[in-house]
Amino acid sequence: MRKKIKILLTLIICGVFGLNAQNNTSSPYSIRGYGEMEGFNNAFCRALGGASNGIRTEHYFSFSNPASLGATKLVLLDFGFRVDYSHVYSDSASKTRYNGNINYFSLSFPVYRKPIIKKDTSSSAIKSKTTKLYTEYRSIWNAAFGFMPYSSINSTYSKLKDTSYGLIGNYYSRTGGLTRLFFMNSVNINPNITVGLNTSFIFGQTRAYDGYYLFDTGVARATIHENNISMRGFKFDFGIQAERNKDTIYVRDSIVVNGQKVLQVKKQPIRFVFGATLDNGAQLNYSIYRQILNKSNYYITAPVDTVLLQENKKGKTSIPLGYSAGFSVTYNNNWMLTADYRAEQWGTMKKTLFTDSFSNSSQISIGLAYRPDYSASNFKKTEGNKRFMPTIEYRFGFRSRNTGYNFLDNAGNIQPLKEYGFSFGLGIPKLRTEWDTKYFQVKSMFNITAEYIKRGNLQNGMIAENMFRVTLGFTLPDVWFRKRKFE
């Protein structure tokens, strides 16, 4: 146990420092506001187009709806890595970029489990004609903690313009972003209704560099503007999920047994899950370091004139209110259809820190998965014994999003930045047998999700972006604090 805790602490420390030290984007559109906002989900939900409110399973939980944590029964370690390839282009130029980093980490665990005494109805118990009782635990209170980026910024540009005063150059760079540390709790009011609370601490900084250069008679005069902003604050999100799993479809078919047709009736269960969240608006405290310098010659040692110097200027900025709702329908423990709608009130942003133009954002996500439940999968006979053969899971998704960030085109029109994406994912399972008052199957999962994302357009001098994103996720369940079996 101590060894596991040491490994987890090492992963957490390395991950948090890694998120702060590296950029998670290379999009020119990250220049606005807090930057490119990160979808609060893991590799499983990304493969479903970001749909998450209807996810309620023992093997995964949705980051964006803390109520989904109530369905998990074991300790779950979930972490992932992301790699991006983007192609940014306009009418006259194009550029390709790569970046990658650790993307998310979470550890969930049951805090309180209610013991339930059950009768062993396995085939071995029936053959022995003895009554065996065992203890099964139902999760009442679950918790999770972890980290992932909240937003990322990495945008630079430069340009030259020939004027009557000489050649004028401009170089602009903005980097940084915000990181989210989260602590989730969920409580099962009954087996079918769960409520959850996610407490997030959001922190980070943005760094802006803006330089203007005048090249005249061999001298490069420069005006340099540096603006560094540190931000931090707490955010609270609420979630609820309700499940209905009592519906069944009866499929009738005839089979031939000993030369005669026999009517066969198969039960195919239907499961509905409904979920909703309220992302409470939050206040972030910020501190600004800002300076403006004039240099008579940028390329050699020359006098520097400090035009402005601000240190530790403090204030408050906000994160807008958001909400979402969605559902999932699972047919015969194999097929799942899920859909979400999410909106955020970016149009209510007060311009205390940013002068950018915002409008309300919205997103529609649709996902389809073929995900066989391991308890209902086929068995393979090996020398007279049954051996479980896990099956690969397949996932598909689509999303359409209005980001809420507005840009001014060359014709003077305000264009909201829109994007859409397609996703495909695989879940490759690995099974092992564990014991917690009885033997049962534990399924680890290696998740691969590929996404194609399209942003912007070329109308009136705008910039477009095509992005290919791959997320590698690992979901590793375990049993901690178990009662040992002695024979």
Query: Which pLDDT band holds residue 269 (cuts at 50, 70, 90)?
Result: confident
**Cβ atoms of 174 and 207 closer than 8 Å:** yes
pLDDT tens-digit series, residues 104-120: 999 999 998 887 777 76
pLDDT tens-digit series, residues 280-301: 888 999 999 988 888 877 666 6
Among 40-49, 209-218, 272-281, name the one with the lowest average pLDDT.
209-218
Residue range 196-202: mean pLDDT, rounded = 96
- More confident: 394 or 254: 394
Tokens coding 418: 């829109």
Q: What CATH architecture does domain 2-243+276-478 belong to?
A: Beta Barrel (2.40)
Identify the pLDDT of residue 23: 59
Identify the pLDDT of residue 481: 60
Distance from C-alpha of 131 to C-alpha of 117, rounded to nearest angstrom: 13
Mean pLDDT over the full length of the chain: 82
Identify the pLDDT of residue 380: 47
What are the φ and ψ backbone dihedral angles of 460, each rounded to 5 degrees? 55, 45
Distance from C-alpha of 377 to C-alpha of 365, rounded to nearest angstrom: 28
Query: Which pLDDT band holds residue 379 (cuts at 50, 70, 90)?
Result: very low
Identify the pLDDT of residue 9: 52
- More confident: 126 or 364: 364
Distance from C-alpha of 421 to C-alpha of 428, rounded to nearest angstrom: 23
Distance from C-alpha of 304 to C-alpha of 312, rounded to nearest angstrom: 22
- More confident: 68 or 384: 68
The predicted model scores a pTM of 0.84
DSSP assignment letter at 352:
T
Range with the largest mean pLDDT of 94-98, 366-370, 402-406: 366-370
Tokens coding 361: 């954002």
Query: Which pLDDT band holds residue 321 (cuts at 50, 70, 90)?
Result: very high
Distance from C-alpha of 1 to C-alpha of 232, rounded to nearest angstrom: 34
pLDDT tens-digit series, residues 15-70: 555 555 455 788 888 888 898 999 899 999 999 999 999 999 888 899 999 999 99
Rounded percentage of the chain residues whose pLDDT exceeds 70: 80
- More confident: 375 or 44: 44
Strands 385-388 and 361-370: unpaired
